[in-house]
Structure 1
Amino acid sequence: MKSINEVFSPLKLEMTQSNAVLYKTALLKQEIIVFLIKHERATIAELAQATKTSIPKINETVTELIEDGLVLDYGKIVNGVGRKPNIYGLNPDCAYFVSVEANRHHMNIAIINFAEEITLIKKDIPFILENTPASFDTLCSLVEDFIQESGYERSKFAGLGLNLTGRINHDTGNSYSYFNFHGKPLSTVLAERFSISAYIENDTRAMAFGEYAKGIVKTEKNILFINLDEGIGMGIIINGVLYSGKSGYAGEFGHMPFLNNDLLCHCGKKGCLETEASGLALIQQMKTAISKGVSTLLTDTVPDLEQLKLQDIVTAALRDDMLSIDLISQAGGKIGKGIAILLNLFNPELVILGGKIARSGSLIMLPVLSAINKYSLSLVNTDTQFKTSQLDDTAGLLGTSLLIRNRLLGI
């Protein structure tokens, strides 16, 4: 058996006269794997037709892929009459990906197989995200412990992906908000640290792609994913392709400066949407209201206000806490006004709300939709669907593993 990186290593070089056969064989194997990713199962005849290759050559190449450990023979088709052909599909265990999501106060880590299935996951690992060497070392230690405890052979990992908030250029591997003190791309540092090919992505973009590939999306190709968490971010998918912008900074929805206030955002500017409608803003607004004596369930459930978290407010709202509902509703109105602007600009087929605030369901969706109806063109907003995330806190983990796989296969 070969690792997936070995199988496709000829494609990393330019085709020359001396390596032409190896290169073309690797290219055909790539086409077969991509077809099986999209269609799950196929016969030799179907693969030959899809790749415009002779049946003997496809037979030979599929046999090699079975020997490489990437493809499995799933036996003969049961239905139909006449001679039954064998069907082939991906070997889910031919390669694995380590997906890491670092949030401000915790981490999620998962191992995902080649067939897009989560085989092991650990959520809400205590962690403080800071742009310091100590925070980075803690992250690496937690990931290393997870890998060691998983029992998987390191050679089976085809890639490691790290999702971070802030400005990320996944093409260069640079993070400009966190862990930017190494003097070289963060992806390179991670690859050297773990001896696994590494990839970094903005957390919201990874969530958007995960939801697009494995979540609530059906046939839609033009999608906006709004991440409503402690911050506010946006993932953009245009014609089925994740859009990152020139340098990876696209989607800074939370920093649209249309609020008339003097509140200083953490980005250094004033009037950003995040200053009044983000999860961090909700936490501060709740603390202020409680200090003024406003009644809320949180007075009993969270005695120490310094420990108040966004999820506490969402949970209280779902338990009919009027203050929590009111704060979420106010935030929803402002978020909806911002989305109205996006609808007029992008005219998307689908808008997905994700993140912790989206877990409040109709409590956030209704004020968002009300504001959209008020501020966007009727012809545009009636042309768009609005849904909440189906994958919730696994969207980013799945998204980054799929992005690694697609990059590995050149798709």
Structure 2
Amino acid sequence: MTFFEELNDGNISGVAYKNIRLKKNIISYLCNSGNCTIAELCKELNVSTPKATNLITELVNDGIVEELGKLDSTGGRKPFIYGMISNSAFFLGVDVKHTYINIGLADLQKNLVSLSENIPYILNNDKKSLLELCELIKQFMSAAGVNKDKILGIGLNLTGRINYATGYSYSFFNFNEEPLTNFLEAELGIRAQLENDSRAMAYGEFNAGVVRDEKDVLFLNIDYGLGMGVLINSHLYYGKSGFAGELGHIPLFNNEIICQCGKKGCLETEASGQALLRLFKQKVAEGSSTSLISQQKLNINEIILDDIIQAAKNDDVLSIELIAQVGEKLGRGIALLINIFNPELVIMGGSLAETGDYIRLPILSTINKYSLSLVSRDTQLKFSKLGRKAGVIGACLLVRKRLLEDTL
């Protein structure tokens, strides 16, 4: 039985269980630290030389680790060096948005080896939408050219309330009694994990994006909705029930707009992509001019969020003005976060972050107005480096992390 087959065997115990855990530690060490010798592994894992040698030999035989030759030495016997075979295993990441999905495949050493972006898809909370999503994932796997047995897990990001520990989604595809992960595993034939999209994006950005040495980081997903991922001391923060980060549902405004959560006055009703879309259509209906209608001859009901974002990049005045309004209101929410968390870094991601200074400048102005200067002066504000790939990368890395954790 190979190592990856052992991982999926729930009946292993005793010495075999301990050996699997040690092998996971070896793989994790090699992935994160690079190549190493047996002596370095013995020190890292606190095991004997014969034990480390046997474990490495088994991983070599399974095609997961390879011998890279001997280390140059000034004297004595030259030790062998070992390293990971990156393409021995893969992780699939699926980032689901309201009008499209992104799917990517990463290898053991975090390299994104295949990526399909902006695949047309409409997210609805029904069985048809879920089955369509599964079909798109199957098509990607088929086109990727990777043996399905080498894909160790799939990470699926959804907006809304997700409990990754139980595998339940409470905002979308919540019509089955069983956990959504159970359905996905049966449909796709791969171990599945769920994650909130903003939290996965935060994890991707933290590990492969704009974050450097910062440990306390807030990631804002400014998209159709408004979400947040929180990293405290370099670890994702989930809260008691796994739902931490519901920034969009802070009751910050006294309005009569009903949020998708069913309440009124949420930040998301005034400072999100859906708020921008609503304002844009309202202004056009009232007679405001825009290049989206006059030049592209779009019907007002056909306009989607990406159309407004692209129009702003093309200097459409109405789009720019409304994005500034959304930015000003969002800045109030960010000022509140800075006063509460005193973070080292706030990252802005999601589709609205692609508008650059059109949203950044009003946010900065409002932060300066509402945040405490002693608290905010050490907080950096940056845009996402990974952009729309953040969710896919984060999903892949979270599956990899959880598979290689020191528990089965």
Alpha-carbon distance in 2 for matches of 1:360, 1:321: 12
Question: Counterparts of 1:122-133 in structure 2 under 5 Å?
Answer: 122-133=116-127
Q: Counterpart of 2:372?
A: 377
User: Does residue 401 of structure 2 align to residue 406 of structure 1?
Assistant: yes
Consecutive unaligned residues of structure 1, counting only runs of 5 or more, are none
d(CA) in 2 for partners of 1:3, 1:361: 46
**How far is the alpha carbon of 1:24 from its aligned partner?**
2.7
Match of 2:223 in 1: 229
* Aligned counterpart for 1:26 among listed residues 20, 25, 39: 20
**Count of paired positions:** 404
Aligned partner letter, 1:391: L
Match of 1:204 in 2: 198
Check conservation: 1:3, 1:156, Cα contact below 8 A: no
Task: Please report how far the alpha carbon of residue 220 of structure 1 lies from its aligned counterpart in structure 2 after TM superposition.
Answer: 1.4
Alignment check: 8 A CA contact 1:349 1:384 kept: yes
Does structure 1 retain, via aligned residues, the 8 Å contact 2:216–2:345?
A: yes
Q: CA RMSD in A?
A: 1.9
For 2:358 and 2:34, locate their aligned partners in 1 and report how far apart those are by CA, in whole Å: 39
Q: 1:188 to 1:9 in 2, by over 3 A?
A: closer
Matched, 1:328 2:323: yes
The structural deviation recorded for 1:14 is 8.0
Following superposition, the deviation at residue 95 of structure 1 comes to 1.3
The reply to whether residue 345 of structure 1 matches residue 315 of structure 2 is no
Shift of 1:211: 0.7
Which residue in 2 is equivalent to 1:396?
A: 391
> Which shows bigger deviation, 332-341 or 238-247?
238-247
Kindly indicate whether the alpha-carbon contact (under 8 Å) linking 1:97 and 1:111 is maintained by their aligned counterparts in 2: yes
Q: Give CA deviations for 1:169-210 in whole Å, capped at 9, x if unaligned.
A: 100000111111121000011111112111111111110111
Equivalent residues in 2 for 1:73-92, closer than 5 Å: 73-77=67-71, 81-82=74-75, 85-92=79-86
Residue from 133, 136, 147 that aligns with 1:139: 133
Distance 1:196 1:14 in 2: 20
Name stretches of at least 5 consecutive residues in structure 2 with no aligned partner.
Answer: none
Structure 1 residues 106 and 356: CA distance shift in structure 2, 3 A: same
Letter in 2 for 1:381: S
CA distance in 2: counterparts of 1:134 and 1:206, whole angstroms = 25
Report the alpha carbon displacement of residue 355 of structure 1 after superposing the two structures with TM: 0.2
Does residue 151 of structure 1 match 2:145? yes
Local SS of the residue matching 2:41: helix
Deviates more, 1:376-385 or 1:64-73: 64-73
Which residue of the partner structure matches residue 275 of structure 1? 269
Residue 258 of structure 1 pairs with residue 252 of structure 2: yes
Select 1:194's aligned residue among 165, 170, 188: 188
Q: Aligned to 1:53, which of 47, 58, 62?
A: 47
Q: For 1:213, give the aligned amino acid.
A: N
Q: Identity of counterpart residues, as a percentage?
A: 47
Residue identity matched to 1:335: L
Deviation at 1:129, TM superposition (A): 0.8
Tell me the distance in 2 between the aligned counterparts of 1:369 and 1:43.
50
Aligned counterparts of 1:302 and 1:257: Cα–Cα separation in 2: 37
Deviation of 1:3 (Å): 5.1
Q: What are the equivalent positions in structure 2 for 1:92-107 lying under 5 Å apart?
A: 92-107=86-101
Q: Secondary structure at the match of 1:41?
A: coil
Q: Aligned in 2, Cα 1:13/1:215: closer, same or farther, shift over 3 Å? A: farther
* Alignment match of 2:311 (pick from 308, 316, 321): 316
Query: 2: CA distance between counterparts of 1:75 and 1:325?
Result: 59
Q: CA deviation at 1:302?
A: 5.3
Moved more, 384-393 or 24-33: 24-33
In structure 2, the residue corresponding to 1:50 is in which secondary structure? helix
1:311–1:9 distance in 2 versus 1, CA, 3 Å: closer
Paired with 2:268 and 2:297, the residues of 1 have a C-alpha distance of: 24
Compared CA separation, residues 302 and 84, structure 1 to 2 (3 A): farther
Query: 1:403, CA displacement in angstroms?
Result: 1.1
8 Å Cα contact 2:95/2:395 also seen in 1: no
Residue aligning to 2:113: 119
Quote the offset at 1:224 in angstroms.
0.6
Residue 2 of structure 2 corresponds to 2
Q: Give the conservation status (yes or no) of the 8 Å contact 2:348–2:382.
A: yes
Higher RCO by CA contacts (8 Å cutoff, separation 6 or greater): 2
- Aligned partner of 2:174 in structure 1 is 180
Rate the CA distance shift 1:369–1:87 in 2: closer, same or farther, 3 A. farther
Q: Secondary structure at the match of 2:339?
A: helix
Mapped to 1, the partners of 2:308 and 2:343 lie a distance apart of 30
Q: Distance in 2 between matches of 1:28 and 1:265?
A: 48
Aligned letter for 1:163? N
